[in-house]
Structure 1
Amino acid sequence: MTDENVTRIFPPDALARLRELVDIDPSLAAGDLTDPRVRDRLADTEILITGWGCPVLDAGTLDAAPKLRAVLHAAGSVKGFATPAVWERGIVVSSAAAANALPVAEYTLAMILLAGKDVFAHRDRLRSERTFPYGQILPGIGNFGRRVGIVGASRIGRRVIELLRPFDLAVSLADPYVDEAGATALGVPLLPLDALLAGSEIVTIHAPQTPETRHLIGRRELALMPTGSVLINTARGSLVDHDALVEALRAERISAILDVTDPEPLPADSPLHDLPNAFVTPHLAGSQGNEVARLGLTVLNEAERLLSGGELEFRIDPEGLERVA
């Protein structure tokens, strides 16, 4: 991982605990695995602890690490660095994606509740008019019985469903890999995507980025959403056709809350920066600040399991890798 992330992910107490478990040099953060200093250490390395900025683990790198038996990733997706050569050598890989899912789900929960109150539009109204109809009951807002559609029963999607349970919301799910029994276990009705879009006042996307999900929400799908509905995307920007989204926003049919965009970052002249019904945040729903220490804690727990001969709780199944973020 990158140098600056070591102390963020492993604060002093966590780093001390890690050093009790394994022989590790905290000063050796390898951003380049071809560096001779790093290459020499790889020969005896049994465990790689990785994070954001991890170089690709290709066959050449793995040849230099003949004793490597595990990669413990202190971040989310491993797709960017775990090549087929990793699985071919029988190296086990674990990810802290479940830990990273929690703050994304919390962000989504917050945005659903705020969107249900139409907080952003009313904040802007107060800011521009400097007055507000205090004491009046505002029609069309509120979270009692509001229909929320979850697109994708990913780790984050499932966590969002769990976090929404205490609220008086009508939650439904669309996911081609979930059957009726699976949806029943999650406590939500399963709908085709078109039906979910047409019947939801708030739609939140939690599907993985794959060739099949590119522009999953396009012009046709946006047209299915009811006037006044809200689209939330914390997954990947490519899942939404941004040209079609801008059209729908300019027509004032819907609103959007976007923590991810395509491209990312947005060009300075993107209309999404200025459209009043677009609320854009800079990809901060995932682990930030003190939350990244949770990723390090996940790795510590996985290291303990590995060294005691136990099963890793968050072991990656390469067969299902295509269907996860």
Structure 2
Amino acid sequence: MKFVDEAHIEVFAGKGGNGCMSFRREKFIPFGGPDGGDGGRGGHIYVEADSNLNTLIDFRYQRLYRARNGEHGRGADQFGAAGEDMLLRVPVGTLVRDAATGELLADLATAGQRVVLAQGGAGGLGNLRFKSSTNRAPRQSTPGQLGEQRRLQLELKVLADVGLLGLPNAGKSTFIAAVSNARPKIADYPFTTLHPQLGVVRVGPGRSFVVADIPGLIEGAAEGAGLGHQFLRHLQRTRLLLHLVDVAPPDPEADPVRDARSVVAELKKYDPELAAKPRWLVLNKLDMLDEQQRAERVAEIRRRLRYKGPMYAISALTREGLEPLLRDIDQSLRPQVQDGEAAVDPQDPRFAVHDPLDES
């Protein structure tokens, strides 16, 4: 199924039914009085988060949604039925904004959460409502009101604990395939990942976390290079970022240190708050180097970056170094005491923000 994370739709709540002007007419009852009923209200339009959905593709092809109108009132004290409500189902993590004002109407972060997008119009009043001791034969009724109409922007931000960040071909897809059951496309050319991938990593009985892989970020993304910043929104809900760096790029002129700085620079251009999230440096593709080159390359990168934070050297292809990394991620995501284990110390340098942008 095609992944769609943004859509624009229009919603029209139902119009209320008109009130009825009617009088009771029966044999031998010359003054029956008013008996016109009220109109029914128009149908509301709701939106609900559904955990069984993972894309907004349904809203890409159908963009107009109209709830049913309320029925008109009738004689014999008959009130009109309310219009049937309409329910729109969206993936968990969807934001709903008013397209005209940009106002955030709903942040559907939990499954089953339901919000009214457009209120149906109130039904009109029948002449039964206007009778009184001084007005025994009222001849007035009111029309139903129009329902709300809105142009809406739907934006999906996937819910994940850990986000993968890096240049194309840094090994992000190989990493998520190695630690979870996700099966993204993996190839030896850039931009094999064209939309976010989610994987569940199980680290023990009843303990797991979700990893999100997004298309690679390249220098100049803020100006639209590559896929630009199109998918960075999917990292905004994560609690930890893993910055993957290729320690053995195929291009001999490529510099892992320069690449790491360029990715973080693009991240800051997009959203300073996202750049301020805890971010760990993961040096990938150790299998491409021999033992002596590995130690030298890791030491050189740390020295040039002046990096004092958590750094992990791994090979996602051979799974070398993955176990310590996954164990530390699990601990960092559990700040409270669980299963008798001590709480994570917030002063632990592993869980602080480290910015590999210092000039050497």
TM-score of Structure 1 vs Structure 2, range by shorter chain: under 0.3
From the two aligned structures, give the one with the greater helix fraction. Answer: 1
- Structure 1-normalised TM-score? 0.24
- Structure 2-normalised TM-score? 0.22
Identify which of structures 1 and 2 has the higher relative contact order when contacts are C-alpha pairs closer than 8 Å and 6+ apart.
1
From the two aligned structures, give the one with the greater strand fraction. Answer: 2
